[in-house]
Amino acid sequence: MKNINWKKELKLLPGYIIVAIWVLFTAVMLSWILGASFSTSKEIFSGSIFKFETGIHWENYVTAWQVQNVSVFFGNSLLYSVVACFGVLAISAPAAYVLSRWKFTGGRTLRIGLVIAMSVPIIMVIMPIYSIVVRLGIKGRVLLMLLYIMMRVPYTTIYLLDFFATLSKSYEEAAYLDGCSAPNTFLRIMLPLVQPAVVTVTIFNFMSVWNEFFMALIFTSSESMTPVGVGLLNIINSMKYTGNYGGMFAAVIIVFLPTFLLYIFMSEKIIAGVTGGGVKG
Amino acid sequence: MKKNKAMIFWFSLPSLLCLLIMFVYPVCRTVLMSFFKVESVTAGLSDWGFNGIGNYTKIFGSQTFRTAMGNMLLIWLVGGVITLLLAMLMAVVITSGIRGKKFFRAAIYMPNIISAVALATMWIQYIFNYDYGLLNEMAKLFGGDKIKWLGSDMKFWSMVAAFIFGSVGYYMLIYISGIEGIPLDFFEAATLDGAGKVKQFTKITLPLLKGVIKTSITFWSINATTFFLWTKMFSPIDTEESTIVPVVYLYDTVFGGKGVVTRDAGAGAAVGVVLTLIIIIVYEITEKLFKSDDLEY
């Protein structure tokens, strides 16, 4: 163990206080919500949530999961996120590969188009998309799956493109000499080589789809296709009638947990991904 | 390496189609639609009536839209100054050599990765709650009076405060990566020359962070202009004057909401175009103001 340099630490004290207050506030908020999710509405209002005088109310989670339909919302969000992650990879990885490898007609335009599309606000596309969707009569879960896949293509393609560009061409030359076809070379050699980038971009796609709200609100037409964000909003709006605060806080915890757990295990990778990608001064 | 034309074609076609269907065609149609009288968003081209700049004069003539623009401006300016200053403060503290740097960094960024709907609910149902909320419990502790944080006069600022809390971590990460990009010997040389910490910050750190600050302002502008979710959470059922923002106005005019008699997709498209123009203009201005000299170090 290193010796603590007290003089240095003392100088840093104001800094410690600032970040500690911020983190403490976050911790108080999260633990209170967790405590409330195991309490009755009465306990929440009388401010005695951490005493658990009437026991730990697991049934809040059961109510939220079954009665308030969180199981449906959760399943939908999981489906959208997982399908979108795979779908977008199937579209973006091949495109990123050929864009990084060869100059071809329209390649530059496609690349610039994708970069611009990354910063197009969703409000500029939502109305025509709505119109197309209604005309074609696309409904239900498949609609949001398709939209989420297409929504993530520009970001994913551009992100992977930078990584493919760093790979040496000697891999392909060796594969060619060994008689491996070009598409096979991509699938079996090049794609596994960018695996770390694929993992990072997939985490971001997952979180982005899990937390998406605007399109979900516009296109959700039935309970059976509602994802967690809109579902939680519906639960809160019906609180006036149910008055079940414990159940609502349980729902909040269920919605909050997946990306939070992902973050607990992968925070280093996620943080490196935030600043490693497009963000450069 | 041989160029395999068929492979290039089939590999890039799906992403090209996505780009065209999801972005190029909709953007063109939205811009076009903003100059036409279109009632229903699903109306075909044959039902569009040319309206010149009628939609634009309509929205700017609307009191609700002007209120929404005013709120957006406040969020952008006041929220932006506070968020970016707090983010810079956190970034400086975290790069100052404190222990547990990784933990603090991860904890402060955390609100950005959780569902914003869940985060907003935590603030509304706990922090700001009148009966048992954290702020009023604190007030009680110090002998103060309870405050109606979600009453109509406080709601807007409560919403902005919660939004700031959720945003600081992201900008902090951007600043940290900027600060860590500055070579340490710059600071060592400055220390040898007798420059204090404050002087080092204003004379070395800030000027070298020009590019990063520019990026953060652009991102903040996009976030403030497309502000929607927090308003929806703070006034979930009926849109209220106090929290309305342009995207909510757009949502209500196009998809129906309280006080909207006839839907007007054309006006909605005009709102979209106006907001996009604002983002482009802010981007151009910051580019000019913070002309980065592309320093190499």
* pLDDT score for A281: 31
C-alpha–C-alpha distance, residues A128 and A75, integer Å: 28
> Cα torsion for B79, B81, B83, B86, to the nearest 10°?
-140
Q: How many residues does chain B have?
A: 297
Per-residue b or e along B146-169, where b marks 16 or more CB atoms closer than 10 Å to that residue's CB: eeebbeeeebbebbbbbbbbbbbb
C-alpha–C-alpha distance, residues A215 and B165, integer Å: 24
* Nearest alpha carbon to residue A276 among A222, A212, A203: A203
Largest alpha-carbon pair distance within chain A? 76
Surface-to-core class of residue B74, CB atoms within 10 Å of its CB (0-12 exposed, 13-18 middle, 19+ buried): middle
Largest alpha-carbon pair distance within chain B? 79
Tokens of B127: 């922090």
C-alpha–C-alpha distance, residues B132 and A122, integer Å: 37
A52 at interface of B, judged by CB pairs closer than 8 A:
no
Identify the structural domains of chain A with CATH numbers, from first to last: 6-60 (no CATH), 70-243 (1.10.3720.10)
* pLDDT score for B2: 63
Return the DSSP state at B21: I
Q: Which of A2-6, A54-58, B31-35, B128-132 has the highest mean pLDDT?
A: B31-35
Count other C-beta atoms under 10 Å from residue A173's C-beta.
12
Phi, psi of B89 (to 5 degrees): -60, -50
* pLDDT score for A280: 36
- Residue B294 confidence class, pLDDT cut points 50, 70, 90: low
- Residue B297 confidence class, pLDDT cut points 50, 70, 90: low
Query: Would the CB atoms of A271 and B106 count as touching at under 8 Å?
Result: yes
CA distances from B217 to A118, A188, B275 (A): 17, 42, 16
> Cα torsion for A225, A228, A231, A233, to the nearest 10°?
-140
The one-letter amino acid at B20: L
Surface-to-core class of residue A176, CB atoms within 10 Å of its CB (0-12 exposed, 13-18 middle, 19+ buried): middle
What average pLDDT is seen over chain B? 90
Handedness of CA B68, B69, B72, B78 (dihedral sign): negative
B74-237 CATH = 1.10.3720.10
> Is the reported ipTM for this assembly greater than 0.95?
no
Return the DSSP state at A82: H
Q: What angle do CA B217, B218, B223 make, to 5 degrees?
A: 95
C-alpha–C-alpha distance, residues B276 and A203, integer Å: 28
Query: Would the CB atoms of A102 and B237 count as touching at under 8 Å?
Result: no
Q: How many residues does chain A have?
A: 281
B-chain residues within 8 Å CB-CB of A207?
113
Q: Which residues pair with B36 in a beta bridge?
A: B50
**Contact between A152 and A80 (Cβ < 8 Å):** no
Query: Would the CB atoms of A99 and B24 count as touching at under 8 Å?
Result: no
* pLDDT score for A32: 93
| Range B215-231 average pLDDT | 93
3-class secondary structure, A233: helix
B-chain residues within 8 Å CB-CB of A157?
15
Query: Would the CB atoms of B114 and A260 count as touching at under 8 Å?
Result: yes
A-chain residues within 8 Å CB-CB of B125?
236, 245, 248-249, 252
Query: Would the CB atoms of A98 and B22 count as touching at under 8 Å?
Result: no
C-alpha–C-alpha distance, residues A190 and A272, integer Å: 23
Q: How many CB pairs under 8 A join A and B?
A: 266
Query: Would the CB atoms of A172 and B27 count as touching at under 8 Å?
Result: no
Surface-to-core class of residue A260, CB atoms within 10 Å of its CB (0-12 exposed, 13-18 middle, 19+ buried): middle
C-alpha–C-alpha distance, residues A177 and B158, integer Å: 65
Tokens of B272: 């979209």
* pLDDT score for A55: 80
C-alpha–C-alpha distance, residues A270 and B169, integer Å: 13
A-chain residues within 8 Å CB-CB of B113?
207, 259-260, 262-263, 270
* Nearest alpha carbon to residue A74 among A248, A256, A243, A264: A256
A-chain residues within 8 Å CB-CB of B14?
90-91, 94-95
Q: What does pLDDT average to in each consecutive run of 10 residues of chain A (281 residues)?
A: 74 91 96 91 82 83 90 96 97 96 91 93 94 91 95 95 90 89 90 92 94 94 92 87 86 93 91 68 31
Tens-digit pLDDT profile for residues B154-210: 999 999 999 999 999 999 999 999 999 888 888 888 888 888 888 888 888 888 888
Helix, strand, coil shares of chain A as percentages rounded to 5?
Answer: 80, 0, 20
Tens-digit pLDDT profile for residues A212-232: 999 999 999 898 999 999 999
Which residue is listed with tokens 């059976």? A224
Outline where DSSP puts E strands in chain B.
36-37, 49-50
A-chain residues within 8 Å CB-CB of B247?
123
Kindly identify which residue of chain A lies nearest to residue B115, measuring between CA atoms: A211
Contacts of A99 (CB under 8 A, 6+ apart): A107, A110, A111, A157, A161, B12
Phi, psi of A245 (to 5 degrees): -70, -40
* Nearest alpha carbon to residue B8 among A93, A185, A99, A179: A99
Angle between helices B5-18 and A107-118 (to 10 degrees): 30
Tens-digit pLDDT profile for residues B86-99: 999 999 999 988 89
Tens-digit pLDDT profile for residues B61-118: 999 999 999 999 999 999 999 999 999 999 999 998 889 999 999 999 999 999 999 9
